[in-house]
Homo-oligomer: A and B are copies of this chain.
Amino acid sequence: MSNDTELKEKENVNEDVYDKDLLDQLLQDGDIDAFREEFLSMHNYEQSEYFEDTDEEKRQKIFEFLSPSEVADFFDHLDIDDEEYEELFDNINANYASHILEEMSYDNAVDILNELSKPKVASLLTLMNNEDANEIKALLHYEEDTAGGIMTTEYLSLKSTTPVKEALMHVKEQAPNAETIYVIFAVNEDDQLVGVLSLRDLITAENDAYIEDVMSERVISVDVATDQEDVAQIMRDYDFIAVPVVDYQNHLLGIITIDDILDVMDEEASEDYSRLAGVSDIDSTNDSVIKTAMKRLPWLIILTFLGMITATILGSFEDTLSKVALLAAFIPIISGMSGNSGTQSLAVSVRNISTGDIDEQSKFKVALREAGSGLLSGIVCSIILIIIIISIYRQPLLAVIVGGSLTCAMTVGTLVGSMIPLLMNKLKIDPAVASGPFITTINDIVSMLIYFGLATSFMSYLT
Interface residues of A (CB under 8 A from B): 1, 3, 6-7, 10, 13-14, 17, 41-43, 45, 77, 168, 171-172, 175-176, 181-182, 199-200, 203-204, 217-223, 226, 230, 233-239, 241, 248-250, 258-259, 261-263, 265-266, 269-270, 272-274, 276-279, 282-283, 285, 287-290, 292-293, 296-297, 300-301, 303-305, 307-308, 310-312, 314-315, 318-319, 321-322, 325-333, 335-337, 339-341, 343-344, 346-348, 351-352, 355-359, 362, 366, 369-370, 372-373, 376-377, 380-381, 384-385, 388, 392-393, 436-437, 440-441, 444, 448
B219–A13 contact, CB under 8 A?
A: no
Q: Which residues on B sit within 8 Å (CB–CB) of A7?
A: 248
Q: Which residue of B lies closest to A230 (CB)?
A: B13
Q: Which residues on B sit within 8 Å (CB–CB) of A223?
A: 10
Q: Which residues on B sit within 8 Å (CB–CB) of A329?
A: 311-312, 314-315, 318, 321
Report the copy number of this chain in the oligomer. Answer: 2
What CA separation (Å) do A308 and B373 show in the bound complex? Answer: 22
> Could you give 28 example pairs across A and B, Cβ below 8 Å?
A6-B221, A10-B221, A13-B234, A13-B356, A43-B220, A45-B238, A175-B204, A262-B265, A265-B265, A265-B266, A269-B269, A273-B276, A274-B347, A277-B348, A277-B436, A282-B348, A285-B357, A288-B369, A297-B380, A304-B337, A310-B332, A310-B336, A311-B333, A312-B392, A315-B392, A327-B328, A336-B441, A339-B339
B315–A448 contact, CB under 8 A?
A: no
Instruction: Say how far A147's CB is from chain B's closest CB, in angstroms.
Output: 10
Pick the residue among B241, B315, B330 that contacts A311 (CB under 8 A): B330
What CA separation (Å) do A266 and B354 show in the bound complex? Answer: 12
A347–B204 contact, CB under 8 A?
A: no
Q: Which residues on B sit within 8 Å (CB–CB) of A384?
A: 301, 304-305
What CA separation (Å) do A278 and B388 show in the bound complex? Answer: 24
A325–B332 contact, CB under 8 A?
A: no
What CA separation (Å) do A339 and B438 show in the bound complex? Answer: 12
Q: Which residue of B lies closest to A283 (CB)?
A: B351
Q: Of A13, A200, A250, A276, which is in contact with the most chain B CB atoms at under 10 Å from its CB?
A: A13
Q: Which residues on B sit within 8 Å (CB–CB) of A1?
A: 217-219
- Answer whether A315 and B376 are a contact pair too, CB < 8 Å, given A182-B182, A307-B333: no
A285–B236 contact, CB under 8 A?
A: no
Instruction: Say how far A358's CB is from chain B's closest CB, in angstroms.
Output: 6
Q: Of A221, A272, A329, which is in contact with the most chain B CB atoms at under 10 Å from its CB?
A: A329
B269–A273 contact, CB under 8 A?
A: yes
Q: Which residues on B sit within 8 Å (CB–CB) of A237?
A: 45, 77
A204–B230 contact, CB under 8 A?
A: no
A336–B265 contact, CB under 8 A?
A: no
A328–B331 contact, CB under 8 A?
A: yes
Q: Which residue of B lies closest to A290 (CB)?
A: B376
Pick the residue among B266, B282, B357, B373 that contacts A296 (CB under 8 A): B373
Q: Which residues on B sit within 8 Å (CB–CB) of A204?
A: 172, 175-176
Pick the residue among B226, B279, B331, B392 that contacts A13 (CB under 8 A): B226
Instruction: Say how far A164's CB is from chain B's closest CB, in angstroms.
Output: 13
Q: Which residues on B sit within 8 Å (CB–CB) of A308?
A: 333, 385, 388
